[in-house]
Structure 1
Amino acid sequence: MRAAVLTQFGAPLTVREVPDPEAGGGEVLVEVLAAAVAPYAAEVFGGRRNYPLVPPVVPGIGGVGRVVRVGPDATRLRVGDLVWCDCTVRSRDDALAPDITLQGWSSRGEGGARLAEHLHDGSFAELMRIPTENAYPLPAAAGDDPARWAALGVHVIPYGGLLAGGLAAGETLLVSGATGNLGSSAVAVALAMGAGRVVAPGRNRAALDLLADRFGPLVRPVPLSGDEAADRAAMSAAAEGPIDVVIDLLPPSAPSAVARTAAMTVREYGRVVLMGGVGMLGGGDLALPYPWLMRNSVTVRGQWMYPRTANVGMVRLLAPERVRSFGLDAVNDAVAHAASHGGPFDRTVLTPPAR
């Protein structure tokens, strides 16, 4: 098969022939129809994010495909089924705290590295081998436009955070990082879940206007000034009432003060979910005040990725996207396009040719 291979950090991806993957017991072989390209992919491949990928590796974070082969443990999947391939792979020998790898992308700890060694390659290829439980059936209509459905990999991340925060219908959510690729997705997903109001702070005025135009009065944009007290007051005023949940999806380049300002708008007994990259490149700690947390009974929760059931829920909630597709041979053009088109609802997708 043909695949895009990261041979070393800092080098362009090389499209070349590699052996077809062979699925073993508990695995499924899928023909890849569409795979999303993250806006920060160039940072990963360039080594700036220091992800624990081990070249040579076929990268890629999930995708849409058709089942080519199933193992003996599959009782409902059939050859030819259209599926979403979830990249979040969990070890099967610890139900309470499984090791996790993001297939073809990243991993966590020694156990995650061992999983990544076994399921080394991702979706930037004509074929992909995945665990049986990571294949989620899609409606037949997804076959008409698999590139749009590849956006599942974006939306399911904030969806996992909103589930972790217990967002309920009618509640007010504040999205820290609302103008980014994941943050804007959180706005859309929260409204699909029934949020009564979404406060959307950010510095990008054009992105804030896009959110307001797309979703109307349920979204309350807040241009940030950089002054913590003033920004906190502006976000609280925009909510016109208590803020029940704050979700942070800021990138690693964002200062911790921005995340802290947003978090401290939450009401008494409110919930704060941390899913972004603040602090991953160094910088100051989040430093939420102990007395404020304790006296207001605030719950702060970290959430990496999402539970398996979130994939099923997200299939039901998927909204339209603006998608630019590239063939496999143009993978480096796709990575460059994704880096410059990482705003709200702007997706870049690889579409390998049919075999």
Structure 2
Amino acid sequence: MKAAVLKEFGSPLSVERVPDPVMGTGEVVVDVVAAPVLPYAAEVFSGERRYPLTLPVTPGAGAIGVVRACGPDATRLAPGDWVLCDPMIRARDGAPAPDVTLQGLSAGGEGGLLLQRHYGHGSFAERLLIPTENAVPLGGPIDPADAGRWLGLTLCLVPYGGFLAGGLRPGETVLVSGATGNFGGAAVAVALAMGAARVVAPGRNEQALAGLRRRFGDRVATVRLTGDEDADRTRMIAQGPIDLVLDILPPAAGPAPVRAAAMAVREGGRVVLMGGVGMLDGAELALPYRWLMRGNVTVRGQWMYPREAPPRLVALARSGLLDLTHFDVTEFPLDDARAAVAHAAGKPAPFHLTAIRPHP
């Protein structure tokens, strides 16, 4: 089969013939119809992000595809089924905290690197090997032309995991720190789909803020950030009371806007940290002990999402509560994988998806 291969960090992707995946018991082979290209994929492939990734590798985290073959342990899944390929692969031992790898992207520690020996290759390929439980049925056939939009699920899964961790309840007010980014825009849509009464969306990009208002109307309150931490926090608090803060800012943002958003939460509120502050040797986030204790504030970190999240998110989309037509998709053939990565880097705004379609 044909696949894009990263041989060394900093080298360009090369599209070449590689061996077909060999399926074993407990596994599924999927014909990839559309694979997402992350806005920061170029930073991963250059080595800037320092993600643990065993090279050479076929990158690509997640896909929409059609089951080609499945093992004898699959009793409901069948060849021809449309599926979401969940890239978060968990070891089948080590419960309640199994080792994890993000297929084609990164690893969660030494155990995740061990998983990469078998499940390292990702979705920038004609076919993909995944564990049976990572093939999430889409609930029926879809129009192949719409496969790119269904990739919106791969973006939405991350903030969905954050909102599940934060215990988001219908009728609450949510603040999304990083709302004008690719994952942040998805977070706004997911919060509203889960029943949030209102989403506070801070950011510096006025065009992106205006776009959120146009899409979602009065249920979204935008706050233009100035860089003055105290003033920005005061303006966010004025939109409250805020029940839950989700931070999903990238590493380059630094701790100040994260802290301003976190400390806008009401007394007894919750803060979920999913972004990248401090990851690339930047300053770490500091929150006042007295404020946390006296305010009865809950702060927790969340990496990705629990196992039950993908089928639940598919159900939200199938119900119409999560509207995937918000996503605009630019597609590239597999032979143009380099161009797809460059395009994605220039489109970090909300609701822009870049996709690779391996099959013409």
- Please report the TM-score for the alignment, with normalisation by the length of structure 2: 0.96
CA distance in structure 2 between the partners assigned to 1:317 and 1:275 by the alignment: 22
1:210-268 Cα distance to aligned partner (Å, 9 max, x none) = 0011101110110001111100010111x2x3100000000011111110110001111
Alignment check: 8 A CA contact 1:162 1:190 kept: yes
Alignment check: 8 A CA contact 1:82 1:143 kept: no
1:49-106 Cα distance to aligned partner (Å, 9 max, x none) = 0111122100000101111111111111101111110000011112211111001110
Please tell me the residue identity of whatever aligns with 2:304: M
Residue equivalent to 1:180:
181
Residue equivalent to 1:200:
201
Residue equivalent to 1:353:
359
Residue equivalent to 1:90:
90
Residue equivalent to 2:313:
314
CA distance in structure 2 between the partners assigned to 1:142 and 1:248 by the alignment: 34
How far is the alpha carbon of 1:282 from its aligned partner? 1.5
How far is the alpha carbon of 1:142 from its aligned partner? 5.0
Which segment drifts farther, 199-208 or 345-354? 345-354
Secondary structure of the residue aligned to 1:191 is: helix
Secondary structure of the residue aligned to 2:142 is: helix
Secondary structure of the residue aligned to 1:160 is: helix
Superposed, 1:56-75 pairs within 5 Å as: 56-75=56-75
Secondary structure of the residue aligned to 1:199 is: strand
1:133-157 Cα distance to aligned partner (Å, 9 max, x none) = 0001113125441111112110111
Alignment check: 8 A CA contact 1:170 1:195 kept: yes
Superposed, 1:97-176 pairs within 5 Å as: 97-138=97-138, 139-176=140-177
Please tell me the residue identity of whatever aligns with 1:297: N
Alignment check: 8 A CA contact 1:176 1:247 kept: yes
Residue equivalent to 2:268:
269
CA distance in structure 1 between the partners assigned to 2:95 and 2:71 by the alignment: 22
Residue equivalent to 1:343:
349
Residue equivalent to 1:22:
22
Residue equivalent to 2:228:
227
1:126-175 Cα distance to aligned partner (Å, 9 max, x none) = 00000000001113125441111112110111011011101111100000
Please tell me the residue identity of whatever aligns with 1:17: R
Gaps of 5+ in 1: none
| RMSD, aligned α-carbons | 1.0
Runs (4 or more) in structure 1 with deviation over 3 Å come to none
Please tell me the residue identity of whatever aligns with 2:10: G
Please tell me the residue identity of whatever aligns with 2:168: L
How far is the alpha carbon of 1:43 from its aligned partner? 0.5
Residue equivalent to 1:210:
211
Residue equivalent to 1:305:
304
Gaps of 5+ in 2: 318-323
CA distance in structure 1 between the partners assigned to 2:143 and 2:290 by the alignment: 50
CA distance in structure 2 between the partners assigned to 1:56 and 1:71 by the alignment: 27
CA distance in structure 1 between the partners assigned to 2:3 and 2:294 by the alignment: 55
How far is the alpha carbon of 1:316 from its aligned partner? 2.5
- Please report the TM-score for the alignment, with normalisation by the length of structure 1: 0.97
How far is the alpha carbon of 1:317 from its aligned partner? 2.8
- Are 1:283 and 2:289 counterparts? no
CA distance in structure 1 between the partners assigned to 2:169 and 2:305 by the alignment: 17
Alignment check: 8 A CA contact 2:82 2:142 kept: no
Alignment check: 8 A CA contact 1:246 1:271 kept: yes
CA distance in structure 2 between the partners assigned to 1:145 and 1:211 by the alignment: 23
How far is the alpha carbon of 1:110 from its aligned partner? 1.0
Residue equivalent to 2:249:
250
1:283-303 Cα distance to aligned partner (Å, 9 max, x none) = 222110001101111110100
Alignment check: 8 A CA contact 1:41 1:339 kept: yes
CA distance in structure 2 between the partners assigned to 1:352 and 1:149 by the alignment: 16
CA distance in structure 2 between the partners assigned to 1:257 and 1:79 by the alignment: 50
Secondary structure of the residue aligned to 1:246 is: strand
Match among 295, 308, 327 for residue 333 of structure 2: 327
Alignment check: 8 A CA contact 2:27 2:129 kept: yes
Please tell me the residue identity of whatever aligns with 2:188: V
CA distance in structure 2 between the partners assigned to 1:325 and 1:109 by the alignment: 33
Alignment check: 8 A CA contact 2:81 2:137 kept: yes
Please tell me the residue identity of whatever aligns with 1:346: H
